[in-house]
């Protein structure tokens, strides 16, 4: 754990140093997101979605694996062999519900059932089982395989959506950390100014140039600045802990964020580049490739396969089974071709419910699910378009507001400087300086808050775009 504790203290020697410029203790937003993408447990968990889909696909393909079945039954009592029956079968399932079979049967015994009586060499068989109604064009194993292939595409979309959510939450934590850090630095600077002003006023009072009440006024300002600083430091400490939830290393080792680490100062110039929201233009390809749209479309495809399977249950069950029989020694190509096919085993099974109420009800439910998901897809398309337009409008507005608030900060700073100059000439008071300073602080806090809203708005657009790669 000591290594983790010292990680950020030695940040200049770490991998972060590759992109550092002037401030070796600065954790840039891009580096931070890189660590979240690579090591955060929830991002790794999102990748498991694809692994699960691949495992399901393998399991679905197992429905077409050849099978060997062996059934052996023997009874012997008081040195008498009542019966010994061996039935062995090799089955090969095919795509359209047809099943190829090859088998070998042998039976003997004193009390053998007559229907099991066969030549001493046993009987070989080769045949086919064909469903003429249900299960021919679509059956459960065909449906499972088709759904598993679509599920693989669905898992890709779900992985992106889960990763986007983690990156968005991580971004909000970073922006809050940066906001609180900026406020702490702001209050530190003004506390330092207030303490210097208190010393200056105390000196003027001792010289008889200012009334004693001015020291009380200056002292009130110092205490207010300390109070504000303490509150902002508390917020910063909490935001650091929130940020630490997203900082991990290999082998699932969490990182601690040390006090010397600072957020990126000029993030406003890089935020769009990092989140790939710069010069973003909306077109039809955005919806076509959007993971949420793709996920819903894949769900509809899966539901359509379910619907076809349910519709297939309206057909009667007609299973035809034919097996060519032969003694093993005589089972060859010429006998198979020129035999009169008098030796065979044939079976026909028919099953059909008269009213089909259960089957028709299940089919209706399947259709309703498709309609419901289609409604959701149509709504999601409209919502995505409106969300993207709303976020772009908000970003443009916030950029204009930020420009205006920065101009206000400059004007308030000019007013405070002028008031300070008047105070040195004895033409102003601590009260007026405090009033000017409070206005300046309020405008700077508004600028910090507005900048934070701009960052969050860009993150919102990134979330709507849903492109984590």
121's CB contacts (< 8 A; 6+ apart) are 106, 327, 328, 329
Residue 50 in domain: no
Maximum mean pLDDT: which of 113-117, 288-292, 340-344: 288-292
Q: What percent of the chain has pLDDT over 70?
A: 91
- Model confidence at 296, pLDDT cuts 50, 70, 90, reads very high
Residues 294 and 167 in one domain: yes
Lowest mean pLDDT among 262-271, 281-290, 362-371: 281-290
Q: Please report which helix (H) or strand (E) contains residue 407, including its range.
A: helix 357-424
pLDDT of 286 over the 80 cut: no
> In the 8-state DSSP scheme, what is residue 136?
S
What backbone torsions phi and psi does residue 14 show, to the nearest 5 degrees? -90, -175
Coil, strand, or helix at residue 449?
A: helix
Residues 90 and 158 in one domain: no
- Report d(CA 63, CA 95) in Å as an integer: 10
pLDDT of 409 over the 90 cut: yes
Looking at the DSSP assignment, which residues form a beta bridge with residue 346? 322
Residues 339 and 400 in one domain: no
| Section 232-254 average pLDDT | 91
- Report d(CA 311, CA 138) in Å as an integer: 10
pLDDT of 257 over the 90 cut: no
Residues 333 and 461 in one domain: no
Burial annotation 134-168 (CB, 10 A radius, 16+ → b, else e)? bbbebbebbbbbbbbbbbbebbbbbbbbbbbbbbb
Residues 162 and 81 in one domain: no
| Section 192-208 average pLDDT | 80
| The dihedral sign for the CA sequence 78, 79, 82, 88 | positive
CATH of the domain at 220: 1.20.1600.10
pLDDT of 57 over the 50 cut: yes
> In the 8-state DSSP scheme, what is residue 283?
-
pLDDT of 322 over the 60 cut: yes
Residue 44 in domain: no
State pLDDT tens for residues 326-349. 887 655 556 555 555 677 888 999
pLDDT of 244 over the 60 cut: yes
Which position has the higher pLDDT, 202 or 72? 72
Domain span including residue 387: 2-39+142-303+365-465
Q: Report pLDDT for 6.
A: 28
pLDDT of 455 over the 90 cut: yes
State pLDDT tens for residues 19-44. 434 467 889 999 999 999 888 888 88
Residue 148 in domain: yes
DSSP E strands in 240-330: the ranges are 248-249, 253-254, 262-263, 317-326
- Model confidence at 14, pLDDT cuts 50, 70, 90, reads very low
- Report d(CA 46, CA 161) in Å as an integer: 9
Coil, strand, or helix at residue 119?
A: coil
What backbone torsions phi and psi does residue 160 show, to the nearest 5 degrees? -65, -40
| Section 365-384 average pLDDT | 94
| Section 400-422 average pLDDT | 92
Looking at the DSSP assignment, which residues form a beta bridge with residue 253? 249
Taking alpha carbons only, the member of 222, 164, 193, 135 closest to residue 36 is 164
What is the dihedral angle through the alpha carbons of 357, 358, 364, 368, rounded to the nearest 10 degrees? 150
Residues 105 and 152 in one domain: no
Residues 128 and 146 in one domain: no
CB atoms within 10 A of CB 194: 23
What length does the chain have?
469
Residues 147 and 220 in one domain: yes
């Amino acid at each position: 754990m000591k290594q983790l504790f010292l990680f950020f203290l030695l940040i200049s020697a770490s991998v972060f140093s590759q992109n550092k410029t002037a401030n070796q203790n600065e954790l840039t937003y891009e580096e931070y997101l890189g660590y979240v993408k690579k090591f955060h447990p929830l991002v790794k968990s999102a990748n498991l979605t694809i692994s699960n889909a691949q495992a399901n696909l393998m399991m679905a393909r197992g429905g077409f694996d050849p099978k060997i079945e062996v059934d052996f039954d023997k009874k012997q009592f008081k040195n008498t062999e009542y019966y010994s029956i061996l039935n062995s079968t090799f089955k090969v399932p095919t795509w359209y519900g047809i099943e190829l079979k090859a088998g070998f049967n042998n039976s003997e015994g004193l009390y053998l059932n007559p229907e099991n009586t066969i030549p001493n060499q046993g009987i070989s068989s080769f045949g086919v089982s064909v469903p003429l109604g249900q299960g021919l064009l679509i059956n459960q194993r065909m449906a499972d395989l088709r759904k598993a292939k679509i599920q693989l595409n669905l898992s890709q979309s779900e992985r992106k959506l889960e990763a986007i959510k983690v990156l968005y939450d991580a971004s909000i934590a970073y922006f809050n950390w940066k906001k609180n850090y900026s406020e702490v630095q702001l209050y530190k600077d003004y506390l330092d100014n207030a303490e210097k002003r208190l010393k200056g006023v105390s000196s003027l009072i001792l010289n008889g140039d200012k009334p004693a009440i001015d020291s009380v006024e200056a002292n009130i300002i110092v205490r207010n600045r300390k109070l504000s600083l303490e509150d902002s430091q508390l917020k910063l400490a909490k935001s650091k802990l929130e940020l630490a939830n997203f900082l991990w290393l290999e082998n699932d080792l969490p990182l601690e964020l040390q006090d010397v680490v600072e957020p990126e100062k000029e993030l406003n110039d890089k935020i769009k580049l990092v989140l790939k929201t710069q010069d973003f233009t909306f077109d039809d390809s955005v919806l076509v490739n959007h993971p949420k749209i793709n996920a819903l479309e894949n769900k509809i495809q899966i539901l359509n396969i379910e619907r076809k399977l349910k519709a297939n249950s309206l057909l009667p069950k007609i299973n035809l089974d034919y097996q060519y029989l032969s003694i093993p020694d005589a089972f060859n190509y010429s006998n198979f071709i020129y035999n009169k096919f008098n030796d065979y085993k044939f079976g026909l099974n028919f099953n059909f419910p008269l009213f089909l109420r259960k089957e028709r009800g299940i089919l209706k439910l399947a259709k309703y699910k498709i309609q419901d998901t289609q409604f959701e897809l149509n709504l999601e398309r409209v919502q995505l378009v409106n969300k993207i337009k709303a976020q772009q409008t908000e970003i443009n507005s916030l950029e204009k507001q930020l420009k205006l608030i920065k101009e206000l900060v400059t004007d308030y700073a000019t007013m405070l400087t002028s008031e300070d100059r008047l105070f040195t000439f004895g033409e102003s008071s601590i009260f007026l300086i405090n009033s000017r300073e409070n206005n300046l602080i309020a405008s700077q806090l508004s600028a910090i808050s507005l900048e934070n809203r701009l960052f969050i708005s860009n993150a919102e657009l990134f979330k709507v775009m849903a492109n984590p790669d």
